[in-house]
Structure 1
């Protein structure tokens, strides 16, 4: 039985949301689609190839600010792109793990080239531009990896008595002062923490660019 590639991807995205990346398998996907496993191999030779396709689909659906607009400021684009990438990864279960373990496509190279051009036009060398793009992307992926890991742990510990964060941090005044400022309704405000770290990155890049121009 022939099966459409787009339908496979759509069903695989739904299955990923239901079972997570560890339990996602071509066997389960074939059962969901009502076909034999070999029918999937026409489109995807193994799970890794399927995950590559799911990552591309995730970014296509949710990463809306991946490319700079004409005459956009490089720092403005970097902030917007990082926020958009984070939203994209959070939109899909295990999104950070999915993107961290996949291989870039030719389309990814084309998009990266446009990003690098923006940075080069701003005064970075091609090598520096690549480091800028990599630093921001890896900050986002690493940050969301922690966010999604914490969510999974919270789901596993649902129903357990919550710890008293203030009491636990009382012997550590610097930690207490820093962490409590990020707490909102009993949990860390990850949005605020993400924005702070992102702005540190961009400020450092701006300072480096300023030194290069003198």
Structure 2
């Protein structure tokens, strides 16, 4: 694998960002044909945001392996070993959980995302991945309410418990405990996660020293340094 090949493999997550922007523009069309599919658009935006983060982290992980292998190959012709390592981690990441992504990232780069970025951004992204995992199964969005003779509560074991509580804390969703109604796909909630996705990429990128950022292929797209474009 040469550097040019490596760069060409790193572009898909950037395309996902463009797709999210297009979905946001379409979602704001007030026509009936668009509004009737708005919940589906919002679901797809969450899934795409997670894909962007996974793709970005995958790119950075591959870059670190590639850079380390390139330095090593100056002294030893070990290209096949590097390719095997890249393939092994690629296969692991294809089916990795969010926690596994973080662990592999720290192992390869030496940087801890949970310690290196703002805690509110890290929490938001962790919640978003839980959200994505529930939505991706296509099951009904269901929660269990508990009546205690006073204001209702959500059963802590409900699959969406942490997600709903997070949305309530941020005042992005409202649960009607009296009538047992809720909307977990509000535009405000979805937009919040989109903004946190962009902030996450910026902060992770800024964890690295400038001399390293300049050679990471993820920096080719000029979207990390241009925060307005994000």
Normalising by the residue count of structure 1, what TM-score does the alignment of the two structures yield? 0.30
More RCO (CA 8 Å, sep 6+): 2
Higher helix share: 1
Normalising by the residue count of structure 2, what TM-score does the alignment of the two structures yield? 0.28
